[in-house]
């Protein structure tokens, strides 16, 4: 594997899940695979889980790890071509990327959407520049439009908690947030759920329709209560307007409707559903304290499975070097 951005990059999903179970049973099984290989993790944005879990995954495989926080100590980078660099940006990404490629064997990239130019964000410009100019295999640690390591960990978690149930009902619900957030997590979650053997429903206020390239074939239900009925898993997440129906609204907060916050009453509409969220989460906005603290909450197991999803992905990249 030379690039990891979409569910299709893993090939057979059942085989990937089997590999995840194997790694979980013995996470050090391949601890010499990465000997004398270096992972460079490049962060353009903050992180807790991705940083720790991906570094741990690399260590499980015996790799060396370098972490670069672009906004803390590195030269400020220009990402656009054709600009006159007379401002505060000292280095262009198009030189920085091949230089980074000199010092490592694999590169992980975190680079959020700017949420002002839909075309630029959805072209995954920064990720593809790394793909093209680094000369090294690259993988997404949440990019402008996708977060596949999270979605893979979420799917592992759902499989582990499905209790043999065939085609569990999984609901992705929008919930309010004070700031405009990217669509990367819901995009990837939808893409991975559509590839998995689950009954998948998306619910959100009108205007928040996700890009069809991730949701094609999914059931969209604007009535949150109807969507929750019979659900086995509730996956809450905020996202800003994807600009599908009104491109001029791309990246805007269209609603702060607190009736969408997942509370005990919402959960009572479900089939004793498990609660999921990728974290970090705003309590009182996305979910109430009692729901996230309940024994049915899976937010910590999901975070724990980030180590497993990252180990599988890095293992496959190393095996293809
Ligand atoms: N879920 C997730 O990616 O968390 P971080 O932003 O802390 O890495």
Q: Does the Cβ of 302 fall within 6 Å of ligand 1?
A: no
- The yes or no reply on domain 162-297 and CATH 3.20.20.70 is no
pLDDT in single tens digits along all 321 residues of the chain: 999 999 999 999 999 999 999 999 999 999 999 999 999 999 999 999 999 999 999 999 999 999 999 999 899 999 888 999 999 999 999 999 999 999 999 999 999 999 999 999 999 999 999 999 999 999 999 999 999 999 999 999 999 999 778 899 999 999 999 999 999 999 999 999 999 999 999 999 999 999 999 999 999 999 999 999 999 999 999 999 999 999 999 999 999 999 999 999 999 999 999 999 999 999 999 999 999 999 999 999 999 999 999 999 999 999 999
Copy the structure tokens of residue 169.
Answer: 């009902």
Q: Does the Cβ of 304 fall within 6 Å of ligand 1?
A: no
Residue 64 β-bridge partners: 38
Distance 47 CA to ligand 1 centre (A): 5
pLDDT at 73: 85
Q: Does the Cβ of 47 fall within 6 Å of ligand 1?
A: yes
In terms of C-beta distances under 8 Å and separation of at least 24 residues, what long-range contacts does 211-218 make, across chains too? 211/122, 211/145, 211/183, 211/187, 211/242, 211/244, 212/244, 214/186, 214/187, 214/188, 214/190, 215/190, 215/191, 218/190, 218/193, 218/194
For the chain, count helices (H), then strands (E): 12, 12
Which CATH fold topology does 3-146+306-320 show? Rossmann fold (3.40.50)
What is the SS3 string spanning 28-49? Answer: CCCCCCCCCCEEEEEECCCCCH
Q: Does the Cβ of 150 fall within 6 Å of ligand 1?
A: yes
Distance 290 CA to ligand 1 centre (A): 22
For the chain, give every residue range classified as CATH 3.40.50.1370.
Answer: 3-146+306-320, 162-297
Distance from C-alpha of 277 to C-alpha of 156, rounded to nearest angstrom: 14
Q: pTM of the predicted model, to two decimals?
A: 0.97
pLDDT at 164: 77
pLDDT at 83: 95
For strand 3-4 and strand 199-203, is the pairing parallel, antiparallel, or unpaired?
A: unpaired
Q: Does the Cβ of 181 fall within 6 Å of ligand 1?
A: no
Residue 262 β-bridge partners: 287
Instruction: Give the three-state DSSP class for 78.
Output: strand
Residue from 41, 53, 278, 309 to probe ligand 1 pocket by mutation (most atoms less than 8 Å from CB):
278
pLDDT at 80: 85
Helix axes 13-25, 299-319, angle to 10 degrees: 100
- CA-nearest of 300, 3, 319 to 153 is 300
């Amino acid at each position: 594997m030379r690039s990891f951005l979409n569910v299709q990059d893993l090939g057979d999903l059942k085989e990937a899940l089997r590999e995840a179970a194997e790694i979980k049973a013995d996470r050090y099984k391949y601890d010499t695979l990465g000997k004398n290989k270096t992972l460079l993790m490049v962060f353009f944005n903050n992180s807790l889980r991705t940083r720790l879990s991906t570094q741990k995954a690399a260590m499980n495989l015996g790799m060396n790890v370098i972490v670069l926080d672009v906004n803390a100590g590195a030269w400020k980078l220009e990402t656009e071509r054709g600009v006159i660099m007379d401002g505060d940006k000292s280095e262009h990404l198009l030189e920085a990327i091949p230089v980074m490629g000199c010092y490592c064997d694999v590169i992980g990239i975190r680079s959020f959407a700017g949420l002002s130019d839909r075309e630029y964000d959805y072209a995954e410009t920064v990720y593809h520049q790394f793909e093209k100019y680094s000369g090294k295999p690259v993988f997404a640690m949440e990019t402008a439009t996708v977060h596949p390591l999270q979605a893979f960990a979420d799917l592992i978690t759902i499989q582990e908690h499905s209790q043999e149930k065939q085609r569990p009902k999984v609901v992705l619900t929008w919930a309010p947030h004070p700031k405009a957030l990217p669509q990367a997590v819901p995009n990837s979650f939808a893409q991975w759920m559509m590839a998995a053997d689950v009954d998948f429903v998306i619910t959100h206020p009108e205007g928040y329709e996700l890009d069809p390239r991730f949701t094609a074939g999914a059931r969209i239900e604007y009535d949150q209560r109807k969507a929750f009925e019979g659900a086995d898993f509730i996956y809450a997440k905020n996202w800003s307007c994807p600009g599908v129906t009104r491109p001029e609204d791309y990246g805007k907060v269209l609603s702060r409707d607190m009736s969408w916050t997942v509370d005990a009453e919402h959960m009572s509409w479900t089939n004793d559903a498990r609660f999921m969220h990728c974290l970090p989460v705003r309590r009182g906005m996305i979910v109430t304290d009692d729901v996230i603290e309940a024994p049915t909450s899976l937010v910590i197991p999901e975070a724990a499975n980030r180590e497993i999803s990252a180990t599988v992905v890095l293992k496959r990249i190393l095996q293809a070097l």
